[in-house]
Structure 1
Amino acid sequence: MSACYSFGKHLVKGSQVFFRSGLSFGFVNRKPVLPGHILVSPLRVVERFRDLTNDELADLFQSTQIISKVIEQEYNATSLSIALQDGPDAGQTVEHVHVHVLPRKPEDFKANDEIYDKLDEHNQVNFDGDEKANWRTETDMSKEAGRLRELFDDVYTKPV
């Protein structure tokens, strides 16, 4: 994968990207709500869902579907939560369209819809003011991305 990908105002290292289509990329989450919680985003930085081109929209959802099948199997899930928070009032914390894919299992939350509360909280600043305190290490993220990369056809993982 290339050296870095833009994710709003942030950069995602290529080592943390496990999937790339013509217009989208899949990458591991620095602060997952559940093991296997990944993100899928268009390559072009687009703040709102309404601003995607038809081709970007189709590619984003096709990529999400391809990735979801692998994530569900790899994490021995029985279901998936697939979420897109569109705008700050919907909980979007990065100004770049992205889809959350979370592998689900029976009773992973006491109340099923708790997942949305956890999503809402997952990028918030900690009580000590350090938003990076609960982030995974770059090494851990690269290892997970490398393992996931092996599960996709070469067409989605070749360096660009």
Structure 2
Amino acid sequence: MTSYDPNNVFAKILRGELPSQTVYEDERTIAIMDIMPRADGHALVIPKAPSRTFLDMAPEDIAAVYRTVQTVARAAKTAFAADGITIQQFNEAAGGQVVFHTHVHVLPRKAGVPLRPHTGEMAAKEVLEAHAAKLKDALAKAG
């Protein structure tokens, strides 16, 4: 198995070396807006502890991540008037993983609206800021 690279983009975000639109943070996790969103409100939940894939994670970090996933998903469903939520988690390149720090995608979905393709194109900063504000507001109201 390939080892964890401490210079991956999420490790840099966690160290404050790269900016992000953070919407939620606790002792073990952080939730940020995906800079290449496949749906409006597309967020990522990331464990603070280093792990390359789900298979490398400590059980207590798995529990913390999925508690945050549920919190963010509930808020995203409200904030974006979503009909449903898609939750995705990929492991290793063959499994679709692109950034090799464990992370979970939370995508608000509208019935009949397909996910946008992953083009590698970043969303405008203003769009991400607006989506982050909506999600933070819904998280604050949820308590």
TM interval, shorter chain, is: 0.7 to 0.9
SS of residue matched to 2:38:
coil
SS of residue matched to 1:41:
strand
Distance 1:96 1:70 in 2: 24
SS of residue matched to 2:112:
coil
8 Å CA contact 1:72–1:80 kept in 2: the answer is yes
8 Å CA contact 1:7–1:45 kept in 2: the answer is no
Quick one: structure 1 residues 60 and 48, their matched pair in 2 at CA, closer, same or farther if it must change by over 3 Å?
same
Correspondence for 1:13: 19
8 Å CA contact 2:41–2:135 kept in 1: the answer is no
8 Å CA contact 1:8–1:47 kept in 2: the answer is no
- 1:144 matched to 2:131: yes
User: For structure 2, which runs of at least 5 residues remain unmatched after alignment?
Assistant: 1-8
SS of residue matched to 2:138:
coil
| Per-residue CA distance 1:25-45 (angstroms, 9 max, x = gap) | 111011111111111110123
Q: RMSD of aligned C-alpha atoms?
A: 2.3
Correspondence for 2:95: 90
User: For structure 1, which runs of at least 5 residues remain unmatched after alignment?
Assistant: 1-5, 110-114, 125-130
- 1:66 matched to 2:48: no
Quick one: structure 1 residues 54 and 65, their matched pair in 2 at CA, closer, same or farther if it must change by over 3 Å?
same
Correspondence for 1:112: none
Superposed displacement of residue 70, structure 1: 0.5
Correspondence for 2:113: 108
Q: Could you tell me which of 34, 39, 44 is aligned with 1:39? A: 44
Superposed displacement of residue 75, structure 1: 1.0
SS of residue matched to 1:7:
helix
SS of residue matched to 1:152:
helix
Q: What one-letter code is carried by the residue in structure 1 that aligns with 2:92?
A: G
- 1:81 matched to 2:86: yes
| Per-residue CA distance 1:1-59 (angstroms, 9 max, x = gap) | xxxxx604665525x00101221111101111111111111012311111111211100
Range with greater deviation from structure 2 (42-51 or 142-151): 142-151
Q: What one-letter code is carried by the residue in structure 1 that aligns with 2:134?
A: R
- 1:53 matched to 2:52: no
